[in-house]
Amino acid sequence: MNRIEEKIKHLRRERNAVILAHNYQMPEVQDIADFVGDSLALAMKAKETDADVIVFCGVDFMAESAKIVNPDKIVLHPDMGAKCPMAAMVDIGKLKALKSRHKNAAVVSYVNTTAEVKAVSNICCTSANAVKIVKSMEEKDIIFIPDSNLGKYVKRFVNDKNMILWPGFCPTHHKIEREDVMSLKRKHPGAEIIAHPECRPEVVDAADFVYSTGGMIKHARNSGARKFIIATEKEMCYRLKKEMPEKEFYCIEHAICPNMKKITLEKVLKSLETLTPEMKLSDDVIKKARIPLERMINMGRGD
């Protein structure tokens, strides 16, 4: 253990802090975290924690979600510049205009959205439970924001819904092409292909299975296969290899989220030392955004 890691562990105890990290974080950040998971698992863990301080190693909407369900706790985001480009694709004014044109529609907001967007949504979802949540809606018209690729995936399972898709996407997943996956398949013909539903439809079609990152771990653990091609952000393979060293995982090397990589051990340490940068939201936004976010958490997983 290096000196920075030792300091982090000391301050974590001293501050009564918990460190949460997304599966796309750098390996050394995953290793120092108390809990590593996908968006839904991290939201659930944030709600359950009895820590006084939450250090969220991920992108901005994740730290916001932790603050929404823990308004009285200190939520630290080690680099406020670690933003989700897909979440930034939703313009709140245009969303309100879209809602006014579809007055009977429910807004299902992917958790990859800002707190302000969540505040005008009926319910949130993650890639793990998007199909389950849309199926559960009484409304026939669903405004699904912001990921059109995830929305197209959900549409495969909900023929009774009119899905109104926002034209957003995850740049990291969107640049994964079918040939990237098939090239690995030719090199490793016995490998199962597991894709994230944020991928393009043609990548989803090429996959043997489609899961959230949490679902990928569960499937790989239970599968009789020994080799897997993982179509999502490349750091997911680190988590999978760490959990299952006896199996082989092949990632898409260029599938890198640069914003996820902005969180470093040095920044985690500085956050614990200074209790900054602190995620802050207005009481009104927290009150409104908490309703759809907790509805999502209460629905649980779908994969």
pLDDT in tens, 61-74: 999 999 999 999 99
- CATH code for the domain defined by 176-251: 3.40.50.10800
Asked whether residue 241 carries a pLDDT value surpassing 90, the answer given is: yes
Please determine whether the domains at 3-83+260-281 and 87-169+288-299 fall in the same fold group of CATH: yes
- Mapped onto helix, strand or coil, the DSSP state of residue 199 is coil
- Mapped onto helix, strand or coil, the DSSP state of residue 194 is strand
> How far is it, in rounded angstroms, from Cα 103 to Cα 24?
37
Look up tokens 């967007």; give the residue: 117
pTM of this structure: 0.95
Burial label, 67 (beta-carbon count in 10 A; 0-12, 13-18, 19+): buried
Give the CA angle between residues 54, 56, 62 to the nearest 5°.
115
Residues 88-138 pLDDT 10s: 999 999 999 999 999 999 999 999 999 999 999 999 999 999 999 999 999
CA 37, chain centre distance (Å): 9
Residues 262-303 pLDDT 10s: 999 999 999 999 999 999 999 999 999 999 999 999 998 988
Average pLDDT over residues 159-167: 97
Asked whether residue 1 carries a pLDDT value surpassing 80, the answer given is: no
> How far is it, in rounded angstroms, from Cα 111 to Cα 89?
13
> How far is it, in rounded angstroms, from Cα 108 to Cα 118?
9
> How far is it, in rounded angstroms, from Cα 158 to Cα 62?
27
Q: So what's the pLDDT on residue 37?
A: 94
Instruction: State how far the alpha carbon of 128 is from the alpha carbons of 37, 166, 198, 240, 281, in Å.
Output: 12, 19, 11, 17, 26
**% of the chain with per-residue pLDDT over 90:** 96
Average pLDDT over residues 195-222: 97
Q: Which CATH topology does 87-169+288-299 take? A: Rossmann fold (3.40.50)
Asked whether residue 52 carries a pLDDT value surpassing 90, the answer given is: yes
End-to-end Cα spacing for the chain:
36
Residues 249-262 pLDDT 10s: 999 999 999 999 99
Backbone angles phi, psi at 263, to 5 degrees: -80, 125
Give residue 43's pLDDT band: very low, low, confident or very high (50, 70, 90). confident
- Domain assignments of the chain as residue spans, ordered by start: 3-83+260-281, 87-169+288-299, 176-251
Class of domain 3-83+260-281: alpha beta
